[in-house]
Structure 1
Amino acid sequence: MSLDLETATTTKTPFPAAGADRAKPASEPGYQVIRRNGSVTPFDASKISVALTKVFLAVEGHSAAASRRVHDIVADLTAQIVAGLTRRADTGRTFHIEDIQDQVELALMRGEHPKVARAYVLYREQHAQERALERAAKAEAQAGTTPALRMKTAEGSLLPLDHARLAALVLEACAGLADTNAETVLNETQRNLYDGISQDELALAPILAARTLIETEPDYAKVSARLLNDKLRREALSFVAGRPDQATQAEMASRYAEYFHDYVRVGIANELLDPELGRFDLARLAASLKPERDLQFDYLGLQTLYDRYFLHVRGTRFELPQAFFMRVAMGLALREIDREARAIEFYDLLSSFDFMASTPTLFNSGTLRAQLSSCFLTTVSDDLEGIFKAVKDNALLAKYSGGLGNDWSNVRGLGAHIKGTNGESQGVVPFLKVANDTAIAVNQGGKRKGAVCAYLETWHVDIEEFLDLRKNTGDDRRRTHDMNTANWVPDLFMERVEQDGPWTLFSPDETPDLHDLYGPAFKAAYEAHEARAARGELKVSRQVRAQDLWRKMLTMLFETGHPWITFKDPCNIRSPQRHVGVVHSSNLCTEITLNTSHDEVAVCNLGSVNLAAHVDARGLMFDKLRATVTTAMRMLDNVIDINFYTIPEARRSNLRHRPVGLGIMGFQDALQTLRLPYASEAAVRFADESMEAVSFHAISASTDLAAERGRYPSFEGSLWSQGILPIDSVGLLAETRQGASFDVSSTLAWDALRQRVKTVGMRNSNTMAIAPTATISNICGVSQSIEPAYQNLFVKSNMSGDFTVVTSALVRDLKTRGLWDEVMISDLKYFDGSLGQIDRIPEDLKALYATAFEIDTAWLIEAAARRQKWIDQAQSLNLYIANPSGKKLDTLYRLAWKRGLKTTYYLRSRSATHVEKSTLKGTDGKLNAVSATVPQAAAPILIEAQPDLAASEAWGKACSIHDPDCEACQ
């Protein structure tokens, strides 16, 4: 039988080409196929149908019944293959014949046609060997000759393809990476070349070649990044010079300084950079650039910067990595006295990856609209003017990359009286629908989706409708499919759940005091309102069983991933600023706990310490950590004064309280360096020790800034002014929760610092918050935030596309023990990146590299509880559970509350994005600058409904890891 897609024609099929109608879009002009001989022909989807038909009939026979069955199967498979190919079409809209056959092979395997797939694989292997022999014979006959390929320039002229430069480029990309092979990359590159190849396609070819090798050797991620950097250099240098230009990495050592001057000039001329940057001593800054730091990127990090961060004019990037970091540093140093010295200090910290500012700061620092803050929290008033002002504020804040948290607990509930019209309220839900649609409409210029989280207190009469907002069934006018939601849960409700007591729901227009109360005062007022309701004095109220409401909260969290569970009382009782207001909600990612009111919109300014860069085999590097935190706190404090505020309430709040949120990332990497399994007491102790050090240095740095610049205006009366530090406020929570006890052990010199805070003061009302760091951890090439590893080999999705990710440390350990080979790669794919079922891996490595779903979730909570005692705000704490049930979720979230956590974030269930199990090719997905394949389609996993969770069917719809639309995955 002949299964070659190059030779298959429609005349050989026993019936009309199956799937041709579905494949029509791919046959339109523009899609081309690179043949093995280097020629290029129009893409014809019918040839796929022909090849598939022949292999099916060869395996299954030629009966009429078989032919009809094959026709239907082939039609579906062809449509899948064509869809996969067109999704990954690169800028030249070309496919190599081998890429098409890879997709055919994948489709056969996914479609569960093992006999047909085996026949196809064997056929490909046989003919690959035959072609290899032919090539060898031809090479011997034509020794010393090179195919005369030409490259087409942007102007359309043809130039000889520079094979020497291509080889030099690949050699340079592999330099210093011991287990990479330039010849392998070059051979893979050569098969994607053809006569007349465009300049962009030529730049992509080696990148695509190196990417296919990442899962065999993680260092190819660096090779791919270095090759992408060459494409970026040509793009940027040509743009700033106004003529075609390019340079190797070695040449940039002498050219970066010249380029930097041109970059600033061009950025200002195109109204992308603040003209004030042109008044810096550019020569001094240019001399401080470190071109060699371009080599430290992994592919995912540099591709993310290329797609979403680097400045561009109509899609042409002109910002190189070290110019990017210097631009951010200059923007943060604008108001420093010796701003060049500070800019260099900030640049060194950012470009080393020891610390990374948050995404809005990276997007906007040094630009004309320097909105650098990450998070905004608002309280929505209970009137139409206030509600629609809040929606407008959301739009203005989201426009420049702010993440939003809205407190809706003030808005009266369904059935409440409206005095102005003598009518009844429709409740909070219709207005949430408006807020949802606004978040979608304002998408931050395409850089990332507008994102908002709505919070509602558990006593609100609309709470049950609020729980249903993310359901896919019911009246769509009362659903918010795109907006995040979170429960703002008072301790009293959790106590009623523990006691299996009743819970009364109210409308806030009749119980307005509950919104601003917490702790014992809330309990007294709530019980008084319950008595009023029992006497019939309230128009709108309803009593439910607390455990029934709790069960529904967990059911919806399980089924839809929302609303998240956050706790009102610890957020307020431990708030340093409780003397001047109330924390009514958290933010989009549940790590910010700041006061809000009708005239103050809380603002927080974030950045994260790369913990992995501050440990070695001996432990935490305290001196380096102190230096990093000190500089980072200065940068974050500068954000407050430089920031572009889109609404006055945000400016007023930020300047009055000056909160910042210093967090950490790379926690899992740090554990692996220290050889500590995540699921261990030692890891919990390290979480405690490392966060204590960050807390100590952050508070100390803020005190130093207060001595230099003055205290924040609302300092007097704060917990700080009373000498109550975060570690001390744990005791306040213990007093409120009678009988509760929390770990308050410490190791550093807190007494002296406590006294200094009281006498000198603080520059910032809040200093710490652990954000998700989804994107900035990608940039730095470390594990996300405080997360355990998702898998050791997987496909990660974000707005830049889909990327193969391999745990480099695991590969190094397996190599050391002689266990890294093709069989191991195959096993990791088969078991979705988990080591647990691979027998030949030693137990110590299984424990060290256990993935998120193999770790008992209680370990995550215990580690978070140890961190929480040091943090004046909160943590974005994702919880992972492989097989959710009502009982497990109940135990989990009660434990989080009892351990004094302020908030939780996503509930992560098993993801439907798996590693491809067939070929080494095709494990990366579509990118803006570089294309590859897309992971298999997501499919929900049916999980048996638990009697105590839900009476209806329960589908596993809790958060699916690495959703490209998810803020926490960006």
Structure 2
Amino acid sequence: MVRPQTDWIVRKRDGRVSSFDMGRIGRAMENAYRAELNLADKQPLDTEVVDTIKTITQEVAEQIANSASSDKGVGVEEVQDAVEMLMMKHGLYRVARRYIVYRAEHAKLRALRGDEGFADEGSDRAQTYVTLDDGVRVPFDSNRIEQRLAQACEGLEDVCSINDLQEEVLKSIYDGITTREIYRAMILAARCRIERDPIYDTVAARLMLNVIYHDSLGSAPSAKKLPQVYRNQFEHYIIDGITAERLSPDLREFNLTELADALEPERDHLFQYLGLQTIYDRYLIHVDGRRIESPQFFWMRVSMGLALNEGELKEQRAIEFYNILSSMRFTSATPTLFNAATPHPQLSSCYLSTVDDDLEDIFRLISDNAKLSKWAGGLGNDWTNIRATNAHIHGTNGQSQGVIPFLKVVNDTAVAVNQGGKRKGAVCAYLESWHMDIEDFLDLRKNTGDDRRRTHDMHTANWIPDLFMKRVEANLEWTLFSPDEVPDLHDLTGKAFEDRYTYYEKLAAEGELRLSRKVSAMELWRKMLTRLFETGHPWITWKDPSNVRSPQDHCGVVHSSNLCTEILLNTSESETAVCNLGSINLKVHVRDGKFDLDMLQETVTIAMRMLDNVIDINFYPTDQAANANKRHRPVGLGVMGFQDALLAQGLSYSSDAAVEFADRSMEAISYHAILASSQLAKERGQYSTYEGSKWDRGLLPIDTLAVLEAERGQAIDVDRSASLDWTPVRESVAKYGMRNSNCMAIAPTATISTIIGVSQSIEPSYKHLYVKSNLSGEFTQVSTVLVNELKDRNLWDTDMLDALKYYDGILSEIARVPADIKERYKTAFEVEPHWLLECAARRQKWIDMGQSLNLYMQDPSGKKLHDMYFAAWKKGLKTTYYLRSLAATQVEKSTVDVNKFGIQPRWMKNKSASNDIRLDRPHAEEVAVEIPATMVGQVCDPNNPDCEACQ
């Protein structure tokens, strides 16, 4: 007789017995279904699935009834076997497979934990061993993992489940696993949960620090012992680095005990996980694969490298620099972080060069590119001097092949010579818009056509004179020339360029030039915008504002920008322009919702000294680079964390308040940077070409807007207001001069912003949940500030996470999110270009160089592109960088039940079926800008690892 189910007995593996519970069978099958369907824990199952689970559960009960109702009861393995067989009988093979895997994983977990009674399952149980660094094998002990995870989760237990993390780690354990692999498994277990709650980022960071400490300190000491271990190991680190020829022997000249005492180990916890992973992979000095640097050793090494020439005060200066770097108020650019205090201190970020129309000089430049790229320099080349295709070659009496074949060689050189083995080589070629090869130049990044005339790995940029923009505006013709017949156009700017250009047009009309061709300025502009949208290149940059506003207009010409379009320095046959970069973290300078100007003054003053020191300490790969840098001493102080600083003040990027903050923050940086350079001139002397510069003529960057207006003959649409008393700055410059020809440039900061955990440069938030790719791998990023605000309003849960995934990290379509949060947390494609341009224009009035300005367009059209770039030109901007367009799908949705939402995001609606986007010509008919729909969203992902050039 079969007893009632309430009396049924189930035997555990360890011999214990318990009452039969049909609900456990149902829950196990439900978990298998969820795993197969990628459903989150709280997502409801379809009614049909629920009914199937009930049916199979009942059939399992019927099958095991006789055993379960006996005095001995039924074994748990027999129950699970019945579940497997009946799922397959119902044709649920894939779900059954998930169930089988689930059983196997839990059997493994019981073995690794040493659960009592596991040996009863078979006599062939084998011990699992761990391989230590020296090759010794020791028995695996799950308690050690539990202890490490408990330490990493200390204080966070209300959110972080140590048991869940441990179970995830144990799934990765195998016999012979190394300790490094175990640490990696622990980090991955925490990392994959960051999207659920950013607090797991703290757990991952703590675990990552353990890995770094094991390498650099020999162990992962407790928080109490860490400061002493840190300081005891510092001198050993210096000696080890010098012995291995990774650090400069000059570091022995420092009082290492004094520097060790200045270390602040607790600042290691200022890093987020991705920052630690990034410096571990690419920045920390290593010997035979072992990192000998901890994060604070890293900051102090950079500081020592920048204080080498500070004489008797070198310890004091090194500590001063260290405190600015380690507190993340300012960060030097990547080459400085890579190479400071090493035997080859190539600390500069950008190199700009001009090539002459001479075969020897062409290949001299290509060779220089290779040398500069080897030491992590980003490159900008001006190719306008090269004669056009079919131009006459006097020496051979032949015809030129033009500039394109040489650019192919430049492209391949960049691929062959990467940046110090740490990131890909990167170069940008510039060409002026009157060059006869300009149309072929526009096609260099196309994926179709003759591949011998394509440069898939090189960036390109248009170098556009104001006269061309005026011709487009008036819908007039534009004449293309070969540089060998108009040799002075290359060096002329403003009114002088316009006069000479029209003179050459007259000569061409009279048949006095061998090569020239008239085109519609609007048609050429249309092609520029079309190619920019299709391929992301060439970028739009302007020759005249870059030159007319240049402080160094008295001793040369700016022929191009750099790889990231923010550096604007003179170049010539004897000078390869060099710039030394670093960026202020705006976020950390916002305290209690207000911008701390006193703190900013201190940061800028110290940062300018650090940047100036780079010039004298630097290793120069070429004589031309050394000549230019030592003569003019330019530096580029920039910013990052602009979006974070706005959020810290409760401001939306799409607001007048954001524009005002862009204005006032850049004014303050400009004020103190110029003043600091002037005070350095008082202490160290003026740069050698100061006399005759705009500085010498009493013109600060804000004054040069009027000069540009006069040269252009058009008003510059920019607010000229100031909030500070500039009299002390003007008086200091007049009295002492300047130490640096240029002081400010806003670089992309793609990597250094990742290191310190803030938003890139002046960028709006890309998205609030996305996968960031760089050379360290792929990392889920979620906005910690947003999640914390949603938590404060009791809005952060699984449903909100699912909605954020479904809507590609954008809040606008999520009904639960309050309007004020949506407004403040607009993403890049929701912020109208108008606001980006207004903020950029306000900054530009204070900056003596340029800014890497990305422009975003959610629903591109030819007219919108035309209006946007014309607005940028009319506001006096010098350059723009990438044009970002939005892809149809951005975020992985495999774990989201899309049926729950049932609607399209707004940005996917109303897409035109046509591939043509139309550009309205002033005073003329419309012109189609052909933009293939398949290209949308393929234009330079903002998180592409190739886009890390400057910083």
Fold equivalence (TM over 0.5): yes
Amino acid at match of 1:348: N
In structure 2, the partner of 1:265 is: 239
Amino acid at match of 1:736: E
Q: 1:721: how far off?
A: 1.1
CA–CA distance in structure 2, aligned partners of residues 755 and 894 of structure 1: 37
Alpha-carbon displacement from aligned partner over 1:674-701 (angstroms, at most 9, x marks no partner): 1111111111111111111111111111
1:809 counterpart = 2:768: no
Report 1:394-433 matches (<5 A): 394-433=369-408
Alpha-carbon displacement from aligned partner over 1:697-726 (angstroms, at most 9, x marks no partner): 111111111111111111111111122111
Report 1:525-604 matches (<5 A): 525-604=500-579
Q: 1:141: how far off?
A: 8.4
Give 3-state SS (helix, strand or coil) of 1:255's partner.
helix
1:228 counterpart = 2:199: no
Report 1:363-512 matches (<5 A): 363-512=338-487
Report 1:177-216 matches (<5 A): 177=156, 179-216=159-196
In structure 2, the partner of 1:325 is: 299
Q: 1:643: how far off?
A: 0.3
Amino acid at match of 1:915: V
- CA pair 415-117 structure 1, distance change in 2 beyond 3 A: farther
CA–CA distance in structure 2, aligned partners of residues 642 and 124 of structure 1: 61
Report 1:249-288 matches (<5 A): 249-288=223-262
CA–CA distance in structure 2, aligned partners of residues 665 and 788 of structure 1: 11
In structure 1, the partner of 2:337 is: 362
Give 3-state SS (helix, strand or coil) of 1:720's partner.
coil
Decide whether the 8 Å contact of 1:912 with 1:960 is kept in 2: no
1:296 counterpart = 2:255: no
Decide whether the 8 Å contact of 2:281 with 2:776 is kept in 1: yes
Decide whether the 8 Å contact of 1:377 with 1:586 is kept in 2: yes
Q: 1:155: how far off?
A: 4.1
Q: 1:164: how far off?
A: 4.3
Q: 1:250: how far off?
A: 4.3
In structure 2, the partner of 1:961 is: 942
Decide whether the 8 Å contact of 1:505 with 1:542 is kept in 2: yes
In structure 2, the partner of 1:154 is: 133
Q: 1:174: how far off?
A: 2.5
Give 3-state SS (helix, strand or coil) of 2:657's partner.
helix
Alpha-carbon displacement from aligned partner over 1:659-678 (angstroms, at most 9, x marks no partner): 00000000000011111111
Give 3-state SS (helix, strand or coil) of 1:873's partner.
coil
Amino acid at match of 1:349: I
Decide whether the 8 Å contact of 2:109 with 2:171 is kept in 1: no
CA–CA distance in structure 1, aligned partners of residues 140 and 671 of structure 2: 58
Amino acid at match of 1:219: I
- The alignment yields a C-alpha RMSD, in angstroms, of 2.8
Q: 1:760: how far off?
A: 1.3
CA–CA distance in structure 2, aligned partners of residues 549 and 135 of structure 1: 67
Q: 1:918: how far off?
A: 2.9
1:893 counterpart = 2:869: yes
Amino acid at match of 1:357: S
Alpha-carbon displacement from aligned partner over 1:336-392 (angstroms, at most 9, x marks no partner): 021111111111111111110000000000000000000010000111011111111
- CA pair 903-138 structure 1, distance change in 2 beyond 3 A: closer
Q: 1:950: how far off?
A: 3.0
In structure 2, the partner of 1:51 is: none
Q: 1:953: how far off?
A: 3.9
- CA pair 137-759 structure 1, distance change in 2 beyond 3 A: closer
Q: Which moved more, 1:160-169 or 1:508-517?
A: 160-169
Amino acid at match of 2:153: C
- CA pair 471-144 structure 1, distance change in 2 beyond 3 A: closer
Amino acid at match of 2:757: G
- CA pair 249-538 structure 1, distance change in 2 beyond 3 A: farther
- CA pair 814-952 structure 1, distance change in 2 beyond 3 A: closer
In structure 1, the partner of 2:146 is: 167
TM-score (normalised: structure 2): 0.84
Amino acid at match of 1:851: T
Q: 1:131: how far off?
A: 8.6
TM-score (normalised: structure 1): 0.82
- CA pair 526-212 structure 1, distance change in 2 beyond 3 A: same
Decide whether the 8 Å contact of 2:476 with 2:521 is kept in 1: yes
Q: 1:121: how far off?
A: 6.7
Alpha-carbon displacement from aligned partner over 1:302-326 (angstroms, at most 9, x marks no partner): 1111111111123222211111111
In structure 2, the partner of 1:113 is: none
- CA pair 623-162 structure 1, distance change in 2 beyond 3 A: farther
Give 3-state SS (helix, strand or coil) of 2:436's partner.
coil
CA–CA distance in structure 1, aligned partners of residues 493 and 460 of structure 2: 21
Decide whether the 8 Å contact of 2:753 with 2:761 is kept in 1: yes
Q: 1:575: how far off?
A: 0.4
In structure 2, the partner of 1:642 is: 617
Q: 1:914: how far off?
A: 3.1
CA–CA distance in structure 2, aligned partners of residues 392 and 830 of structure 1: 49
- CA pair 456-913 structure 1, distance change in 2 beyond 3 A: same
Amino acid at match of 2:702: I
Give 3-state SS (helix, strand or coil) of 1:595's partner.
coil
Amino acid at match of 2:310: E
Give 3-state SS (helix, strand or coil) of 2:193's partner.
coil
Decide whether the 8 Å contact of 2:109 with 2:170 is kept in 1: no
- CA pair 147-447 structure 1, distance change in 2 beyond 3 A: same
Alpha-carbon displacement from aligned partner over 1:532-560 (angstroms, at most 9, x marks no partner): 00000000100000000000000100101
In structure 1, the partner of 2:324 is: 349
Report 1:20-31 matches (<5 A): none
Q: 1:280: how far off?
A: 1.1
In structure 1, the partner of 2:282 is: 308
- CA pair 267-913 structure 1, distance change in 2 beyond 3 A: farther
The structure having more radius of gyration, on CA atoms, is 2
Give 3-state SS (helix, strand or coil) of 1:426's partner.
coil
Q: 1:248: how far off?
A: 4.3
- CA pair 175-470 structure 1, distance change in 2 beyond 3 A: same
Decide whether the 8 Å contact of 1:963 with 1:969 is kept in 2: no
CA–CA distance in structure 1, aligned partners of residues 108 and 240 of structure 2: 53
Decide whether the 8 Å contact of 1:692 with 1:867 is kept in 2: yes
Give 3-state SS (helix, strand or coil) of 2:169's partner.
helix
CA–CA distance in structure 1, aligned partners of residues 950 and 735 of structure 2: 42
Amino acid at match of 1:381: D
1:847 counterpart = 2:845: no
- CA pair 296-121 structure 1, distance change in 2 beyond 3 A: farther
Of 522, 533, 543 in structure 1, the residue corresponding to residue 497 of structure 2 is 522
Of 832, 837, 844 in structure 2, the residue corresponding to residue 856 of structure 1 is 832
- Listed as ranges, the gaps of 5+ residues in structure 1 are 1-35, 37-57, 60-115, 239-244, 921-939
- Listed as ranges, the gaps of 5+ residues in structure 2 are 1-27, 29-47, 50-89, 120-124, 897-910, 919-926
Give 3-state SS (helix, strand or coil) of 1:446's partner.
coil
Q: 1:847: how far off?
A: 1.0
CA–CA distance in structure 2, aligned partners of residues 400 and 311 of structure 1: 15
Alpha-carbon displacement from aligned partner over 1:108-153 (angstroms, at most 9, x marks no partner): xxxxxxxx99995798489859998999999998399999753222
CA–CA distance in structure 2, aligned partners of residues 123 and 968 of structure 1: 47
- CA pair 135-547 structure 1, distance change in 2 beyond 3 A: closer
Equivalent pairs counted in the alignment come to: 834
Percent identity between matched residues is 57
1:732 counterpart = 2:740: no
Decide whether the 8 Å contact of 1:911 with 1:961 is kept in 2: no
CA–CA distance in structure 1, aligned partners of residues 914 and 752 of structure 2: 34
Of 671, 680, 683 in structure 2, the residue corresponding to residue 708 of structure 1 is 683
1:621 counterpart = 2:596: yes
